[in-house]
């Protein structure tokens, strides 16, 4: 197991390097002047533009500017934004907020999604099963920005059950509604996935054998069936974390949350190559780590799986 983990960690290095190269190149080739409008209604002086181009290596060829950025990155220097702010501090503050939001979304996915899927799978063809299938289909069919605006209007503004916007610093209490909105689509997919997997495993040979040996249905489902049912669900949740971090752009925009999503969107608009590359690389790192955790969970859920 230790060799497998080490091998997976070593495999992350070229992936991260490739991600930084591709994203840096994409921002670099964007058309437009990154310093347009920074001096008000008047055009910026040539001396100012020359100094900024020199400071941010914009006069260098792409490959040279990238290797300079990579060298600074390896020493822990994430650079500065065009406004003179530390990219590292900006990304760190946004990471805390977005991780809180994603964590709340994962809780909703785990509790409501898995719970609804189990109830539907155990009562296949009954009212609760039809209700789960219908409600999840409705949620999947509606765009997330529509769900966010509707819930913000009614639960936040009209009925005032939850804060309509995130407070300064984005405390946990103000992220409950945005977290539910962010995880709503994935929640519906998880419920349908659990329901389908549970129905399939209840008809498997090992489940019928366990019943034939005299085990109660509750023990068969709780000890054997649910454990195997969770394997594809764990895969989906692990991969979904990357989608949650990237999809937070819309949710953060609706609820006024100053997280990684909003920061990355503004950085793309202003062609801040350092900020965009750092944020996307962080997304890739989270995704790789979660995939490693998911693979390790496989061995716990299914003892037949071994990484030698």
Question: Long-range pairs for 94-97 at CB < 8 Å and ≥24 separation?
Answer: 94/258, 94/259, 94/260, 94/262, 94/263, 94/279, 95/259, 95/260, 95/282, 97/166, 97/170, 97/257, 97/258, 97/259, 97/260
At 278 the pLDDT is 86
Of 111, 104, 256, 107, give the one whose Cα is nearest residue 173.
104
At 302 the pLDDT is 65
Low-confidence residues of the chain: pLDDT under 70? 1, 32, 36-37, 40, 168, 246-247, 299, 301-308
The 10 Å CB-count burial string (b at 16+, else e) for 180-198 is: bbbbbbbbbbbbbbbbbbb
pTM over 0.85: no
Pinpoint the residues of the chain covered by CATH 1.10.3720.10: 91-301
Class of domain 91-301: mainly alpha
Question: Which residue in the block uniquely carries the two structure tokens 């099963």?
Answer: 129
Of 145, 178, 184, give the one whose Cα is nearest residue 255.
178
* 40 CB-contact burial (10 Å; exposed 0-12 / middle 13-18 / buried 19+): exposed
DSSP state of 32: S
Q: How far apart are CA 169 and CA 93, in angstroms?
A: 9
Q: What contacts 128, CB < 8 A, 6 or more positions away?
A: 119, 120
At 180 the pLDDT is 93
At 149 the pLDDT is 92
Of 140, 135, 177, 139, give the one whose Cα is nearest residue 158.
177
């Amino acid at each position: 197991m230790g060799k497998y983990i080490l091998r997976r960690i070593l495999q992350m290095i070229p992936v991260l390097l490739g991600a930084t190269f591709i994203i840096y190149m994409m921002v670099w080739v964007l058309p437009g002047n990154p310093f347009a409008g920074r001096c008000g209604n008047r055009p910026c002086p040539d001396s100012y533009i020359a100094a900024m181009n020199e400071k941010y290596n914009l006069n260098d060829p792409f490959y040279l500017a990238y290797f300079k950025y990579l060298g600074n990155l390896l020493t822990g220097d994430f650079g500065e934004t065009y406004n003179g702010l530390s990219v590292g501090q900006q990304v760190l503050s946004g990471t805390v907020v977005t991780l809180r939001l994603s964590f709340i979304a994962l809780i909703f996915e785990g509790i409501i999604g898995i719970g609804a899927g189990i109830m539907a799978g155990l009562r296949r063809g009954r009212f609760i099963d039809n209700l789960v299938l219908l409600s999840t289909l409705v949620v999947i069919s509606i765009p997330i920005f529509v769900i966010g605006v509707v819930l913000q209007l009614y639960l936040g503004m009209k009925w005032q059950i939850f804060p309509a916007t995130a407070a300064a610093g984005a405390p946990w209490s103000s992220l409950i509604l945005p977290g539910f909105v962010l995880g709503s689509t994935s929640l519906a997919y998880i419920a349908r996935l659990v329901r389908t997997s549970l129905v399939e495993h209840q008809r498997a040979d090992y489940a019928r054998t366990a019943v034939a040996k005299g085990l109660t249905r509750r023990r068969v489902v709780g000890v054997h069936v649910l454990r195997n049912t969770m394997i594809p669900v764990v895969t989906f949740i692990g991969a979904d974390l990357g989608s949650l971090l990237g999809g937070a752009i819309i949710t953060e925009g609706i609820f006024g949350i100053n997280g990684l999503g909003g920061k990355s969107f503004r950085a793309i608009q202003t062609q801040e190559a350092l900020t965009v590359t750092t944020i996307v690389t962080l997304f890739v790192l989270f995704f790789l780590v979660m995939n490693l955790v998911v693979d390790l969970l496989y061995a716990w859920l299914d003892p037949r799986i071994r990484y030698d």
